[in-house]
Amino acid sequence: MEEKILGLQKSKIDIFNEVIEGGSAMLKSMNMAELKSLFSYD
């Protein structure tokens, strides 16, 4: 569980940095499962 939380935190930081820098490569490279995992509470 802790590993998933740490992974999600890193993904959210990466996405934040991409949005701030005006890039969207990170979002385009994510698959549906990865996007869904950002919003799951499992």
Express each pLDDT in 8-24 by its tens digit.
888 888 887 777 666 56
Grade residue 27 by pLDDT with cuts at 50, 70 and 90: low
* Total domains present in the chain: 1
pTM assigned to the model: 0.46
Q: How far is CA 40 from CA 4, 19, 25, 30, in A?
A: 11, 21, 22, 15
The whole domain housing 6 covers 2-38
Which pLDDT does position 36 carry in this prediction? 80
- The rounded percent of the chain whose pLDDT value lies above 70 is 79
